Structure 1
Amino acid sequence: MSTAPQTSPTDPCPSPERFVTLRTPQGDLELCYQTFGDPADETVLLVMGLGGPMTWWDAAFCQRLADRGFHVVRYDNRDTGRSSRVQGRVTLPGIVGSFLGRSGPPPYTLVDMADDAFGLLDHLGSERAHVVGISMGGMIAQTMTVARPGRVRSLTSIMSTTGRRTVGWQDPRLLPMLVARRAHTRESYVAASARLWKVIGSPLYPDRAEDVQERAGETWDRGVSASGVARQMKAILSAPDRTRPLRDLDVPSLVIHGTSDRMVHVSGGRATSQALRGSELLLVPGMGHDVPKDLHVTFVDAIERTARRAS
């Protein structure tokens, strides 16, 4: 891996979008994925959060990592973007019941989503990878590391939490926005997304309005599934507390969290770091529940630093 600092990436040069078919307990599943960089380099697998397509990993961010000497893989989780939708209806009372521990099993679990990621790595011929996850993606990355630590070179958990209910809570004022009636047109979806990101984004690093609108439009075009988001939410709420198994790991790890995160309180990041022995905790003042472009270099530096610990 190159260790020379870079202030700007080369022009993003991703592979064409490709698909892999996986056999899962829920049936055959297609995952859409894309890569950056040389396949001969160590793999960095990027796992996105709730309802987010792989394009929420900014192409310039992915290229920065590739420029450091990594083979970067981003993909649409099941029920997201151009990947397969899964059967199973989840209602709002069912989601609330999962939070209270009073409802039935989810259509799938975070373990199933972790197995999707391993299936993609198998398809790419990558035995081990540096796994980087955001929000729900951080939970999936943690679950991957707990399940098969020998396949994870390093773990980076960004604005995520351990699954313990007393940490990483959500600002209750967000609930009306999250359970609001879903948009049925591209225009209404873009408008709703702009309102949400204005609330949960980074107060010190605000996105330009046109960038938010462009990202929302691209998200709509890739495919938005309200029922898929509900299934993912139920998987999150049905997952056990990962604190104890995380303590048993011996994997180089990094935890990044914004001090102004209203979606996942910073206590979730602190708890994750406390559970992971020897982890680096990077708290970013003024950062919310997003990855501002002004922080791309900070994130890439930290991910590379953690990967070097694995080497």
Structure 2
Amino acid sequence: MPKISVNGVELEYETRGEPSGEPIVLIGGVGVQLAAWNETFLDALARSGFYVILYDNRDIGKSTKFDDWGPADIPAAFAQARARETVSAPYTLEDMADDAAELIVALGIEKAHFLGSSNGGAIAQTLAYRRPERVKSLVSVMATSARRGLPRPEGKAAEWLTAPRNPSGTLEGAMDEAVETAGIIGSPGFPREEAKIREEAAMLYKRSFYPDGNSRHLLASLASGDSRVAHLSEITAPTMVIHGREDPLVPLGCAEDVQKSIPGAEIVVIDGMGHDIPDGAVPKIVEAIARNAKRAD
């Protein structure tokens, strides 16, 4: 897969579909590699006429790493964020949003549709008000506005959020963790086969096991805090909010706040969906994305 230099970093990227299609850029969440996107989802987007561009965010996968910074102390950063103290980080969501904007420029594309999932949704929201000249439409999937006072994850989901990723550092540990994660934050209405979960986890581990980048992604989110809340009303791109009713990591109230904060935004809530994109929900998700893209015309 090719790399491209943008905004002071090198990003690994991949494309699906015909270059003549409507360009849509997928922005992954905390520690999510481009190879982790649901293949059924990618194929459906391409069949719907989109030219799909997916990439490794900085500090994950095969893009530029920030090794000199070292692993983030996430419990300490959470404590600082809740106390409204400054959280120090090597980069912010604003930097990651600029990466996405400059990626399409480097690819010779003036404007694109942008879809962000989870923390990628926060990046996409930031991009939409920060670089509106690059955004045809915005899709925010299983993401929050970061407004203070919104519902937080509880129980196992809260514990999972701050726990280190695969502390054993082994292939077997990565597969076991993936199965456990699916049980905690996955979609209860769309169960996945354990064998497939383990196979995907093994592939991602072999491609790039890099937990330090995962922790620094979360650190970037904490460092940015709720700064984007005041800017969401400035977003003019047609916006679609997509969320699972059973999402334990980012409760539905967070998505509802995104929809209420962005003028003209629509929301689609999918029963049985948790904090992932299951095969069974793909038709409804892609239909909503395509409908929102047409609003840009």
Q: Comparing 234-243 with 86-95, which one deviates more in the overlay?
A: 86-95
After superposition, what is the alpha-carbon deviation per residue over 1:207-242, rounded to whole angstroms, capped at 9, x for unaligned?
A: 111121122111111212221111111111121422
Q: What does residue 133 of structure 1 align with?
A: 116
For 1:117-149, what per-residue CA distance to the aligned partner results, in whole angstroms no more than 9, with x for missing partners? Answer: 112111111110100010001000001001011
TM-score (norm 1): 0.89
Residue type at the aligned position of 2:56 = D
Report the identity percentage.
Answer: 34
Structure 1: distance between partners of 2:288 and 2:171: 36
Partner-residue secondary structure (3-state), 1:156 = strand
Provide the secondary structure at the position in 2 that maps to 1:64: helix
TM-score, normalisation: structure 2: 0.93
Q: Which moved more, 1:261-270 or 1:87-96?
A: 87-96
Verify the 8 A CA contact 2:141 2:242 in the aligned structure 1.
yes
Q: 2:186 aligns with which of 201, 206, 222?
A: 201
Where do 5+ consecutive residues of structure 2 fail to align?
Answer: none
Task: Name the counterpart of 2:85.
Answer: 102
For the residue of structure 2 that corresponds to 1:133, the secondary structure is strand
Aligned partner (choices 209, 218, 233) of residue 203 of structure 2: 218
Amino acid corresponding to residue 59 of structure 1 in structure 2: E
Gaps of 5+ in 1: 1-16
1:1-311 to 2 correspondence within 5 Å? 17-24=1-8, 29-86=9-66, 87-89=68-70, 90-100=72-82, 101-178=84-161, 179-180=163-164, 182-241=167-226, 242-311=228-297
Q: Secondary structure at the match of 2:65?
A: coil
- Measured in 2, the distance between the counterparts of 1:97 and 1:260 equals 27
Q: Residue 94 of structure 1: SS of its match in structure 2? A: helix
Partner SS for 2:69: coil
Residues in 1 aligned to 2:245 and 2:78: alpha-carbon distance in whole angstroms: 27
Shift of 1:23: 4.1
Count the aligned residue pairs: 291
**What is the CA RMSD across the aligned residues, in angstroms?**
1.6
**CA 1:261 to 1:93, structure 2 compared with 1: closer, same or farther past 3 Å?**
closer
> Is the CA contact 2:7–2:98 (under 8 Å) kept in the aligned structure 1?
no
Distance 1:290 1:183 in 2: 24
Q: Which one is further off, 179-188 or 221-230? A: 179-188
SS in 1 for 2:61: coil
**Bigger mean CA offset, 81-90 vs 123-132:** 81-90
SS of 1:170 mapped into structure 2: coil
Higher relative contact order (CA 8 A, sep 6+): 2
- Cα distance change on mapping 1:203 and 1:163 into 2, 3 Å: same
